[in-house]
Structure 1
Amino acid sequence: MTDHEDLFKVSLTSEEETVTKNEIYRKLRTIETNTSKERKPQNKIMLEPMSTPYIKKSHSIPLVSRSVHISCNPVDDSFWVSDHEHVCRSDKGHSLEIGKHGYGEHTVTSQGKLIYIDRDYNIIKDCTERIVLIATKEGWKPKCIYCSPLTEDLLVGMATINLAAAKVVRYLSTGEEQQSIQYDDRRQPLYTYPAYVTENRNGDIIVSDNYVVKVTDCKGGVRFTYRGPPDKGLAPRGVCTDPLLNILICDCRSHGVHMLDKDGHLLSVLLQYAENSAGPWGVSYNETDHVILVKGDANNIVAVHRYLNRARYLL
């Protein structure tokens, strides 16, 4: 019970009961106040989309060539980037071997630990100790992974060896299976080849699949399917989200990065690359600097784009 509720209870007595002024004063003296403490203003960052995004800087990553995936490190400005064979950290001079048959094959925990799929299709935690977090499941191969910053759960996109079936499985941080999403409410398959997976801040699960992006709620209920602009279609690759709940999708067909709102409406083609360029393939949101990192598939350059204005205000 709060102090105000306690005082209210004392004041509202029955008609037969009389409360003296002295009793009320004694009760008021027992209420602690913070008026003597100095209030410290707090900085709050308000984000809003810019009219024209720009490249803040670029990174050259010589250890990878045809890069397909980026994972930002939430504890600093470093990031992990991979091609179909290796993953390396932006501020380190070595790489690790990863699986050859997936795309979004690594992710980073909120503590900055790398989790990746190795060549035996095991999911490995901590690139130094190489702990097998999740062993290969018979008949299924992991294709993409994402560590939720909300729950530390691990979302894993999987497909059978013959690609006849696909699903997204949620694991606890201990490696224990918690949830499997494979069918819609009509028992029709949801996925064909989950290449990339991420999670929005409202709990929605976003999967880059064959020519579509599928979005379900945290329980696996279908929210929407994004197929690209009318008459243009979609060839989706990397996906990520931002604090405004926007969904960012690399599209190899239009050579652009599409920005959707949380309900699947196209807000803009945020970035547009030339048709003959190494168009966008991997994308990741940097939480510390509020920028996105974008990587093409045929060079070793990672571009850092600012597309959100940051305004500070006092609470």
Structure 2
Amino acid sequence: MFIKAEGLKDLIDYVIFDLLTNVLCDFDFKHRCLNQKIEMSRHICSYQEYEDRYIQPAFTFSALQFLFSIKTALIQVHLASHTSKLSITESFNKDDVMESLSTIQITERGIRRVGNECLLKLTSGAEFHQSLTLTDVDRCYHISCVTSDRVWVSDGNNLILTDTTGVPLQPQPVKDLCSDDIFTGNGLHTVNSESELIYINKNYDINKLSKDMKTATTFIERTDSTWVPLCVYWSPSTGDLLVVMLRRLPWGCKVTRYNQSGQLAQTIQHDNTELGLYRVPHHITENNNGDIVVSDFESGAVVVTERGGRHRFSYTGPPSGSVLLPCGICTDALSHILVCDGTTKTVQMLDKDGQFLSHLLTEPQEMGPPWSLSYDVNTHRLWVGSWWDKKVCVYRYITRQDALTDQHSSP
């Protein structure tokens, strides 16, 4: 615009010169041309001012600073949405903006997928948030978050719903939880999007307990006596239920997927060479990219397959060479895989491709060896259950980073 304005100014100068020297014209026409020249000169000065203020490469500014810098040039700007309005006038300030933005409501529609990775970052380490001592369980073999302050916890025999005080919220524990020896320490329960508990009962059926905890119905009935379910996980992204199944004679193990109607949709059993993928998994979860992540206690590995069932990798321990004894497992909003290791008594963090990143938790002082994990996607807190005692501890290792930052650099 600046270059074109200069060219237009030169053209006007040429036209005026030509008119004055070569053409006999009246005074009014020459006066109008002079006025246009003056007006164009004003525009050129204005463009130059904006260029000096905003387009110099050595100067950076935030969006908020930009709004403040041009507020005096604005008479009034209205941002209307139904009945609410934001006016930017001379009384404009940061508090007005924050108050108006806080009234924006986000309505969830359809299946929500994680899309805020750019707004999250790892902290320098796991920060202890709080601990609770449970009253109606002996150990914390498995945890399923319901809300930010409510979790289901099981010890292999009892299953209770508790809040951050550790006191059970239901009149009595779930009585028909599967309690066979082979199920000790397994991920026997999960929670769906309706906050309903899904668990394996003593008849090896998969039950669904209503949100008010008054009605239990059979979601998936066991129809094949040769296979029994070992652990379950409800997928937030698809609404499917992932189930690890075990067959004793002949020995075999597989992962099955059931849709929201309880119908079998997929079976994963063999790797790319038709060998069995699993021995005796204790826990199962799903990553943000659709990978199915299994904590296989007997084979000493975290076995990961893609959404379609192709084997991606198996993680067998950190670079130190210690033998992995995988227990509880979960994934977080940044697609990390977290696994409890019974050998080192740590919580190890992997990336989505199975590369060891760090020991997120060594044996915590606040509790015994970690055995179970549950990640709260709303608060980005990690719930960790102990193997030896009744303790559950909550940690934070992911935080939000500012979307807008003020960056000033000197020329």
Q: TM-score, normalised by structure 2?
A: 0.64
The yes-or-no answer on 1:96 pairing with 2:174 is yes
Distance 1:171 1:54 in 2: 37
Correspondent of 1:281 among 354, 366, 371: 371
Moved more, 220-229 or 305-314: 305-314
- 2:65 maps to what in 1? none
Choose from 171, 181, 192 the match for 1:109.
192
Partner of 2:42: none
Structure 2: how far apart are the matches of 1:49 and 1:76? 20
From 279, 298, 309, give the equivalent of 1:220.
309
Q: Give the distance between the partners of 1:228 and 1:163, measured in 2 at CA.
A: 29
Q: Amino acid of the residue matched to residue 353 of structure 2?
A: D
> Aligned AA for 1:109?
N
Q: CA deviation at 1:161?
A: 3.1
What does residue range 1-315 of structure 1 map to in structure 2 within 5 Å?
46-73=119-146, 75-91=147-163, 92-93=169-170, 94-97=172-175, 98-101=177-180, 102=183, 103-126=186-209, 127-136=213-222, 137-162=224-249, 164-209=251-296, 210=298, 211-230=300-319, 231-273=321-363, 278-313=368-403
In 2, the alpha carbon distance for the partners of 1:274 and 1:108 equals 27
| Residues 301, 316 of structure 2: 8 Å contact kept | yes
Judge which range, 283-292 or 41-50, deviates more. Answer: 41-50
Contact 1:77/1:288 (8 A) holds in 2:
no
Letter in 1 for 2:159: V
**1:172 is matched by which residue type in structure 2?**
N
After TM superposition, give the deviation of residue 274 of structure 1 in Å: 6.4
Structure with bigger strand share is 1
What are the Cα deviations for residues 39-60 of structure 1, in whole angstroms up to 9, with x where unaligned? 8757978211111212101112
Tell me how far apart the structure 2 counterparts of residues 52 and 115 of structure 1 sit (CA, whole Å).
33
- The change in CA–CA distance for 1:144 and 1:163 in structure 2 (over 3 A counts) is farther
Is the 2:200–2:206 contact (alpha carbons within 8 Å) kept by the matching residues of 1?
Answer: yes
Larger relative contact order, structure 1 or 2 (CA cutoff 8 Å, min sep 6): 1
Report how many aligned residue pairs link the two structures.
280
State the Cα distance separating 1:229 from its structure 2 match: 1.6
Distance in 1 (alpha carbons) for counterparts of 2:342 and 2:394: 19
Change (3 A) 1:287 1:274: closer
CA distance in 2 between counterparts of 1:81 and 1:183 reads 32
For the pair shown, the structure with the greater C-alpha radius of gyration is 2
Please tell me whether the aligned partners of residues 163 and 193 of structure 1 are also in contact (alpha carbons under 8 angstroms): no
Q: CA RMSD in A?
A: 2.3
In the TM superposition, residue 128 of structure 1 has moved relative to its aligned partner by: 2.7
Q: Secondary structure at the match of 1:95?
A: coil
**Per-residue deviation, residues 147-179 of structure 1 (Å, max 9, x unmatched):** 000011000011113471000000011110000
Give distance in 1, aligned partners of 2:364 and 2:162.
Answer: 26
**What is the distance in 1 between the residues matched to 2:284 and 2:196?**
18
Task: State whether residues 148 and 379 of structure 2, in contact with CA within 8 Å, keep that contact through their aligned partners in structure 1.
Answer: no
Equivalent in the alignment of 2:37: none
Q: Which consecutive residues of structure 1, in runs of 5 or more, have no partner in the other structure?
A: 1-33
CA distance in structure 2 between the partners assigned to 1:129 and 1:163 by the alignment: 37
Which AA in structure 2 matches 1:254? Answer: T
1:134 alignment partner AA: I
Moved more, 247-256 or 224-233: 224-233
SS in 1 for 2:401: strand
Which runs of 5 or more structure 2 residues have no equivalent in the other structure? Answer: 1-77, 87-99, 107-115, 164-168, 405-411
TM-score, with normalisation over the residues of structure 1? 0.83
SS at match of 2:203: coil
Structure 2 SS opposite 1:138: coil
Contact 1:72-1:286 at 8 Å conserved across structures: yes
- C-alpha change, 1:163 and 1:256, in structure 2 (3 Å) is farther
Give me the whole-angstrom Cα distance separating, in 1, the residues matched to 2:198 and 2:378.
20
Deviations 1:72-106 (A, max 9, x none): 11x44211110111111113143113111321000
Q: Secondary structure at the match of 2:119?
A: strand
Sort the Cα spacing of 1:51 and 1:160 in 2 relative to 1 into closer, same or farther, 3 A. Answer: same
SS at match of 1:132: strand
How far off its partner does 1:66 sit?
1.9
Question: Where is the helix percentage greater, Structure 1 or Structure 2?
Answer: 2
For residues 399 and 364 of structure 2, the distance between their equivalents in structure 1, rounded to whole angstroms, comes to 25
